[in-house]
Structure 1
Amino acid sequence: MPKRPHPPPTRRKKTPKAPETADEYLAVAVDLEESGERWRSGDVAKSGRFFLQAITAYETTLARYPNNFDARYNRARLLYTLTQLPLPSTFFPPTSTPESRLITAIQAHKECNDQEPDSSDVLFNYGQTLASLAELYANKSFDTDDVETADQELQRLTQAKAAFENSWEVLKQCLAVQEEEFKSTLAQSQAFNGVEDYDPADTDAMGEEPDGGVRLPSDSFPSGSGNGNDTARRRNSTASSHSSSSSLNNTQWAAIVEPTTKLTLLDTALAMLEVHTNILSLATPLTASKLFSQQYIEQLTGTARVTIEEYILPIAASLHSENILEGEELSEHETEAVLHHANYLTGLAEVKYYLGFVDMSVWEQEVKNAFAKYCLFAGNADNDGNTNNTRMVDLSTSWMALCDLSTAYTTIATAIAAQDPSRAWRLAGLASKGLAEATKLAPEKGKPEVYLARGNLELVRSRIPVEAAEGSRGLLRKNAGVYYRGVVTASTSGMIGAVEGGRVKEVVEEAKVKEMLIRVEVGDAAAGKELVGSGVEAATVRRIVRAAIDEGVFGNSMLEIVG
């Protein structure tokens, strides 16, 4: 009998070595976090699971090394990241709520700030987390059958106002730190420009490692710098990531830190102004006088004016004059700055109207002026009187600005519909025209929200008590249904990523429910059954219907359909 060959050796997975040092513990967590980032655009749930594992790994690091700032910072940032991902409620434990998750993230950032008070990265993320909590309070919940009383509404809005104010204070501190960093960057740049050129081939002054790394001589560091970890930090618009590098055999390594630039200052200043705008947006005709006094509005406008006139507009103007940016990137930043300014002005005009400081004509004119062409700076005139290099920002070329202008006009129309229906009808028409233009300019991933806005606006127009609306009410609501179906069609675009898809899913669900409600109104018996079996969760259907009734575009009878 022939000899049987030996079976092939069994391949066993190599057991990873257990971490022993702080850097090794941190490396495990960073690897998990990076895995989550890789899945973020394709599978949000899988990305979230990796982030949860990374958070646990950072907590393990902190349990062993409680003073490890990198682990503490990254844990806080990931806790906030999880609150912003479009994850279903079933992803989290039953006891976890959006509010509790944000409060946990806020506490984590506070701990980071306590450990390193002058970290602009921590302060920026801390401020954004507080703003997210404020937005949660600001949005009325329709998840329960309980009707919110006037006192409960005021309490909720007061909570939101306080959280926004805390956010602004933190961002203000962040901007102060960044200004000092920016001055330091300029000083270092000027000092560097004064240094004589050196020969890169000369390795006497700067040692060269076999792997190509550059080793600084020991006298490049002040006495007592030690051999501790040098932390390399990178700052993004809303989040930053920290990782550590260890020192071996007394080798000193240079940490490359991204400098603070004018764009960094602009990002923070815009975030501060957005917080002010969001505070103003809390006002309603019934709550404005209880939330805001004249003195409060004067203080708010004073601080906002400083942010606008000393930071946002001058920095935005310098992006071109100092050749900081060019082309499409320059245009985007200039438009963003002017649009933030416009939205703040419209929010301020709305509150002033509710408080009785201005009438509806002034309110309308303020909105029109806010979105007019804006001159960032005027160029120099030549001998013939022609002005060169003038920078004008035209918000009518931005689909997002057109949507915001439409929202502003719709807000006025809704507020004055009973007392001046003719003006309300005209303004709603202007809003409709703006959204039509926005549809042409919006990218594929933005079209679902534009179509939803157009459908909602048609419902608003159909409720304005003027002859034109009453005569075409059926047509307007039919048009709304067409736009809602357009939402569903536009949502299938391949340009929409996984994270964006989470928001689009909410838009599609709202469109589906409202389109079916319109069909129910005209007696389509099948629509009610389709609404129940539409694939949208029953709780979501009830929430959308309650919100629509609260907005006044559907009657209370619709609640009977959804149960």
Structure 2
Amino acid sequence: MGAGKPKQFTRPPPKKKPQKSSVLESVDDFQDAADYEESAGGKHRVGDPVKSGRAFVRAFDVYDKGLSKHPSSFDLAYNKARLQLEISQHENILEHIGVEMLDWLQLTLESHRYALKLSGDNPDVLFNTAQVLSSLAEGLSGDDRSDEAVPLLHEALELLSSCLSKQEMMYEQHQLDFPDTEEGGVPLDPDEKPAPTEDTDMQDEQSAVVEVPISASDLLDTVHASLSALITLVPLADQPGLQNLGEMAQTLTESKAPDYIKLVPAEEQDRARFSIALDRAGFIAAFANAQFEFQIIELQTYVERLETFNIPGKEADATALNTEAEARTELVLASLDRFGESSDLPAMLCWKQMSLSQDLYTQTTKLSTEDAQERRAETYKAKGDLELLRHRVANVPKADLSDGVRKSAKTLIQNAQTYYKGAVSHAKVSGDKDVEEEAQQRWDLAKTIAAMMYGGDQPAVEPDTLMEALQGCVDEGFVSEQLAQAMMQGSFASGS
């Protein structure tokens, strides 16, 4: 899961071009100058990422100069860190800045740790630091560096717990100070008594920090971020640590979140319940996968756990449909890991799960929502991956499969080509170069498999490119090692 939207201060846009950096003196001078460059960067972000990147680099230069002059300025430290986090979500801009994603996230983490030293109980910087830690952990785990990712995720969860506690206190205090406000008004703890107030002198009042009131939506955002971190951590955890993670998720979804949902406006509560239900289903699926791999539960129990995706309204939500499809595909991959391509593989059960996954992806491609359109290229690539996996299962020699399933193998590899072609087309439209490149490689791989197994012309593909695609599909479980070995040897025998 990627980082959520960074928490940030509400700041009016700069009204005029600030002074030159040589005459900047106060914290406000530096912040106004940085705001000006940020505004320029944001203006060009979509149309001209090169200009955008240059403007953001200038903003960082202002922040660095400001912090060298005012090292204790939380405002400058926080906003520098916040901008780094925002840019990490725009790889096209980062590409022009010239720093690799993992390196950028490391720099972003350093900036957040600096801001935390200046204000360790600020909920926004606690939340954002946890987001950076989670994103960095995801990147490291995807780079086969899980041993480095695990402590980062534990730290993220600790920070989010602190953030939630602070947010609860601030929310309660706001309700006590402004009991007649329309939003909220329901105490989190009905037995809690109002905190005593103390008089302050004029000097204290003038130097007081004005904090933006915490809303119920902020509380739910922190729950969501916590569950996302837990979902990322579960596959990396050892068996003794699973129980604690399960208890944490249960507290968040069954105790904290329901109380917070009661605090949001009535017209927003259904959507909030849906989001938490989807978070819960995603965690239960990841937890069941881990339990199955540790042989704590059997496959039928795993299948039953996925029924938590039966959430009313999911058919209109691309994220829900794709999340369930991915979970059912993971069940099949876990079954192949445990049973291998032997007669013990519950092939028909796996086939049913893959068919359900493909149906879910197809439903996503038919949606016209913004979310569905944004993930269209990824969805088509996932459909291609799934057809490769179905092709693998259909060719398991000793599997208890019907003749119809086995005869569908040629069609499945043709379908994979069609879906990868669709992914390439949609990725070109959306400008997603990473998806376009990977889908193109896998499209060529599917063509090569089809030619080797069922006849036809071999596509003209660079051997290194083909090997990269093949290795990726073997690592992810979509292509068997036996088929990969046969391809590398330049020969293939059906069923080998």
The TM-score range, normalised by the shorter chain, is 0.7 to 0.9
| In structure 1, C-alpha distance between the alignment counterparts of 2:469 and 2:106, rounded to whole Å | 26
Match for residue 203 of structure 1?
none
Offset at residue 72 of structure 1 (A): 0.9
Match for residue 225 of structure 1?
204
Give runs of aligned pairs for residues 33-182 of structure 1, distance below 5 A. 33-87=38-92, 91-92=96-97, 96-140=99-143, 156-182=145-171
Q: Which has the larger radius of gyration?
A: 1
Offset at residue 333 of structure 1 (A): 3.1
Offset at residue 187 of structure 1 (A): 1.4
The reply to whether residue 293 of structure 1 matches residue 239 of structure 2 is yes
| In structure 2, C-alpha distance between the alignment counterparts of 1:88 and 1:27, rounded to whole Å | 22
Q: RMSD of the TM alignment (CA)?
A: 2.9
| In structure 2, C-alpha distance between the alignment counterparts of 1:479 and 1:14, rounded to whole Å | 57
Normalised by the size of structure 2, how large is the TM-score?
0.79
Q: SS of the residue aligned with 1:190?
A: coil
Kept in 1, the 8 Å contact 2:133–2:156? The answer is yes
Kept in 2, the 8 Å contact 1:44–1:85? The answer is no
Give runs of aligned pairs for residues 405-444 of structure 1, distance below 5 A. 405-417=324-336, 418=341, 419-441=345-367, 443=369, 444=373
CA distance change for structure 1 residues 75 and 544 in 2, over 3 Å: closer, same or farther? Answer: farther
Kept in 2, the 8 Å contact 1:36–1:46? The answer is yes
The reply to whether residue 488 of structure 1 matches residue 424 of structure 2 is yes
CA distance change for structure 1 residues 559 and 549 in 2, over 3 Å: closer, same or farther? Answer: farther
| In structure 2, C-alpha distance between the alignment counterparts of 1:558 and 1:82, rounded to whole Å | 41
CA distance change for structure 1 residues 401 and 298 in 2, over 3 Å: closer, same or farther? Answer: same
The reply to whether residue 305 of structure 1 matches residue 250 of structure 2 is yes
Higher RCO (CA-CA < 8 Å; seq separation 6+) = 1
Kept in 1, the 8 Å contact 2:41–2:53? The answer is yes
Offset at residue 331 of structure 1 (A): 4.6
Match for residue 228 of structure 2?
274
The reply to whether residue 445 of structure 1 matches residue 381 of structure 2 is no
| Paired letter, 1:476 | L
Which structure shows the bigger proportion of residues in strand conformation?
1
Kept in 2, the 8 Å contact 1:353–1:360? The answer is yes
Offset at residue 119 of structure 1 (A): 0.6
Give runs of aligned pairs for residues 530-549 of structure 1, distance below 5 A. 543-549=468-474
Residue among 358, 372, 375 paired with 2:310 = 372
CA distance change for structure 1 residues 88 and 516 in 2, over 3 Å: closer, same or farther? Answer: farther
Q: SS of the residue aligned with 1:339?
A: helix
Offset at residue 80 of structure 1 (A): 2.5
CA distance change for structure 1 residues 134 and 397 in 2, over 3 Å: closer, same or farther? Answer: same
Residue among 438, 447, 459 paired with 1:519 = 447
Match for residue 263 of structure 1?
217
Which structure shows the bigger proportion of residues in helix conformation?
2
Task: For residues 357-408 of structure 1, give each alpha carbon's deviation from its aligned partner in whole angstroms, at most 9, with x where no partner exists.
Answer: 110000001112x1124xxxxxxxxxxxxxxxxxxx4323322211111111
Match for residue 320 of structure 2?
401
Task: For residues 214-264 of structure 1, give each alpha carbon's deviation from its aligned partner in whole angstroms, at most 9, with x where no partner exists.
Answer: xxxxxx983223766x77xxxxxxxxxxxxxxxxxxxxxxx6x53201100
Kept in 2, the 8 Å contact 1:462–1:469? The answer is no
CA distance change for structure 1 residues 266 and 89 in 2, over 3 Å: closer, same or farther? Answer: closer
Kept in 1, the 8 Å contact 2:384–2:420? The answer is yes
| Paired letter, 2:314 | L
Task: For residues 255-285 of structure 1, give each alpha carbon's deviation from its aligned partner in whole angstroms, at most 9, with x where no partner exists.
Answer: 6x53201100000011111111111133xxx
| Paired letter, 2:204 | S
Offset at residue 174 of structure 1 (A): 0.7
Offset at residue 437 of structure 1 (A): 1.7
| In structure 2, C-alpha distance between the alignment counterparts of 1:21 and 1:103, rounded to whole Å | 29
CA distance change for structure 1 residues 157 and 471 in 2, over 3 Å: closer, same or farther? Answer: same
CA distance change for structure 1 residues 41 and 258 in 2, over 3 Å: closer, same or farther? Answer: farther
Offset at residue 123 of structure 1 (A): 0.4
Q: SS of the residue aligned with 2:28?
A: helix
Kept in 1, the 8 Å contact 2:54–2:97? The answer is no
Match for residue 5 of structure 1?
none
Residue among 460, 463, 476 paired with 2:412 = 476
| In structure 1, C-alpha distance between the alignment counterparts of 2:154 and 2:234, rounded to whole Å | 11
The reply to whether residue 314 of structure 1 matches residue 259 of structure 2 is yes
CA distance change for structure 1 residues 357 and 29 in 2, over 3 Å: closer, same or farther? Answer: same
| Paired letter, 2:171 | F
| In structure 1, C-alpha distance between the alignment counterparts of 2:305 and 2:88, rounded to whole Å | 36
Offset at residue 30 of structure 1 (A): 1.5
Which one is further off, 417-426 or 454-463?
A: 417-426
Residue among 341, 345, 349 paired with 2:280 = 341
Q: SS of the residue aligned with 1:430?
A: helix
Unaligned runs of 5+ in 1: 1-12, 141-152, 194-219, 232-254, 283-290, 374-392, 533-537
| In structure 2, C-alpha distance between the alignment counterparts of 1:348 and 1:14, rounded to whole Å | 52
Task: For residues 37-89 of structure 1, give each alpha carbon's deviation from its aligned partner in whole angstroms, at most 9, with x where no partner exists.
Answer: 22223333432222121111001011112222111111112222333321377
Offset at residue 556 of structure 1 (A): 4.8
Question: How many residues end up aligned between the 2 structures?
Answer: 432
Kept in 1, the 8 Å contact 2:53–2:94? The answer is no
